């Protein structure tokens, strides 16, 4: 059994799992092929079939992305362990560490062995419900992507407008959270300086103190899964450190910033060079390219075909 230690993990290969916003058309087909039982449970838990209609509903998106990520991981494992991969597909290495982005931390922990994929689904469904409830209780919250602006510029703007830096994804790609009026002011300020900004279709200031009202209840939901030490090191994209207290650290990630850029840089400094994006939408593969450039030796993108193009359906 792996014993967490902030300085113990080594290797070259990182498996990655994305958060909300990575959804793409066709996910239900992939999930139904790789984990139909989980999909049936998820449909019952949310009260309707997932991934059959366009939606920005956090309650539906979070379990959908979780399931698509688990399906991607199963596909990677199948390609890795088959012993006879298609000649056009390079061999996929096993994970030395696992990294999740926001919601993706739950999938990362399930894959790492902290709890089952089914328990992870229950956690994610409750997470989506609680975050939607928090947003509804505090109307007017939202999020905005700042594109092209230096991190220091965005941080200073956030401080001036009482906003929160919610995610630091890659150089020139930061997301702010806060009141929508303040976000619109930030948007205008960034445009005036020649940068781009996009108000995201998210109701709620996620990864900010506005989520403190649901933190304890979410931690209780994680405790209900009786998590234990992952068999493979799982890294928090909030702290960049290994998960050692899963409920508490997931609670902290809920209200704290996603420091994905810093997490990637720290992993590269430790010698990690190969990155496997198990999620839909090839979002994290793009962030790796943007952050590490040629320092990333291999980026296995299961949904992009840059290095890996798996079948969309099991056995296809």
pLDDT per residue over 142-191, tens digit each? 999 999 999 999 999 999 999 999 999 999 999 999 999 999 999 999 99
Q: Mean pLDDT lowest for which of 12-16, 52-56, 223-227? A: 52-56
Measured at the CA of 287, the angle between CA 283 and CA 290, to 5 degrees, comes to 140
Name the pLDDT band for 60 (thresholds 50, 70, 90): very high
Residue 131 has pLDDT above 70, yes or no: yes
Residue 206 has pLDDT above 80, yes or no: yes
**Are the C-beta atoms of 114 and 227 separated by less than 8 Å?**
yes
Of residues 300 and 19, more confidently modeled: 19
Residue 80, pLDDT score: 78
Q: Mean pLDDT lowest for which of 123-137, 158-172, 230-244, 289-303? A: 289-303
Name the pLDDT band for 228 (thresholds 50, 70, 90): very high
Name the pLDDT band for 304 (thresholds 50, 70, 90): very low
Structure tokens at 134: 């928090």
Name the pLDDT band for 87 (thresholds 50, 70, 90): low
Q: Which tens digit of pLDDT belongs to each residue from 207-224? A: 999 999 999 999 999 999
User: Same fold for the domain at 13-136+208-301 and the one at 141-199?
Assistant: no
Structure tokens at 288: 């790796």
The CATH code of domain 141-199 reads 3.30.70.250
Residue 309 has pLDDT above 70, yes or no: no
Q: Where are the domains of the chain?
A: 13-136+208-301, 141-199
Q: What is the sign of the dihedral through the CA atoms of 3, 9, 15 and 17?
A: positive
Average pLDDT, the chain: 89
Rounded Cα distance, 217 and 127, in Å:
9
Name the pLDDT band for 296 (thresholds 50, 70, 90): confident
Residue 303, pLDDT score: 54
Name the pLDDT band for 76 (thresholds 50, 70, 90): confident
The Cβ of residue 8 has, within 10 Å, a number of other Cβ atoms equal to 10
Rounded Cα distance, 315 and 311, in Å:
7
Structure tokens at 162: 């009482």
Rounded Cα distance, 269 and 225, in Å:
34
**Are the C-beta atoms of 101 and 260 separated by less than 8 Å?**
yes
For residue 150, what are the CA distances in angstroms to 100, 265, 286, 292, 301?
A: 24, 17, 18, 16, 27
Task: Find all residues with CB under 8 Å of 130, minimum gap 6, and list them.
Answer: 214, 217, 218, 221
Residue 297, pLDDT score: 83
Predicted structure pTM score: 0.92
Multiple choice CATH, 13-136+208-301, 3.40.366.10, 3.75.10.10, 3.40.50.300, 3.30.70.2190: 3.40.366.10
Residue 311, pLDDT score: 33
Name the pLDDT band for 129 (thresholds 50, 70, 90): very high
Of residues 33 and 1, more confidently modeled: 33
Task: Find all residues with CB under 8 Å of 279, minimum gap 6, and list them.
Answer: 16, 17, 18, 22, 65, 68, 69, 72, 104, 107, 303
């Amino acid at each position: 059994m792996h014993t967490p230690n902030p300085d113990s993990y080594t290797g070259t290969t990182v498996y990655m799992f994305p958060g909300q916003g990575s959804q793409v058309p066709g996910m239900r087909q992939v999930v139904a092929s790789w984990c139909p039982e989980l999909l049936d449970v998820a449909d019952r838990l949310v009260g309707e079939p997932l991934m059959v209609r366009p939606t920005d509903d956090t309650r539906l998106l979070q379990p959908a992305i979780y399931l698509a990520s688990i399906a991607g991981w199963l596909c990677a494992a199948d390609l890795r362990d088959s012993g006879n991969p298609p000649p056009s597909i390079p061999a996929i290495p096993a994970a030395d560490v696992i990294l999740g982005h926001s919601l993706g931390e739950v999938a990362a922990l399930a894959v790492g062995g902290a709890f089952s994929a089914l328990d992870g689904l229950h956690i994610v469904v409750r997470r989506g419900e609680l975050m939607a409830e928090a947003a509804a209780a505090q109307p007017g919250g939202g999020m905005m992507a700042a594109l092209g602006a230096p991190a220091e510029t965005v941080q200073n703007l956030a401080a001036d407008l009482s906003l929160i830096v919610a995610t630091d994804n890659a150089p020139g790609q930061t997301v702010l959270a806060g009141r929508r009026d303040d976000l619109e002011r930030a948007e205008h300020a960034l445009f005036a300086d020649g940068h781009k900004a996009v108000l995201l279709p998210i109701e709620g200031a996620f990864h900010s103190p506005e989520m403190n009202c649901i933190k304890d209840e979410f931690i209780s939901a994680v405790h209900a899964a009786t998590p234990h030490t992952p068999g493979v090191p799982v890294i928090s994209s909030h702290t960049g450190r290994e998960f050692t207290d899963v409920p508490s650290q997931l609670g902290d990630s809920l209200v704290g910033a996603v420091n994905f850029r810093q997490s990637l840089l720290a992993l590269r400094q430790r010698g990690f060079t190969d990155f496997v994006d198990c999620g839909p939408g090839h979002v994290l593969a793009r962030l790796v390219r943007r952050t590490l450039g040629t320092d990333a030796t291999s980026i296995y993108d299961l949904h992009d075909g840059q290095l890996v193009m798996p079948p969309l359906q099991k056995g296809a």
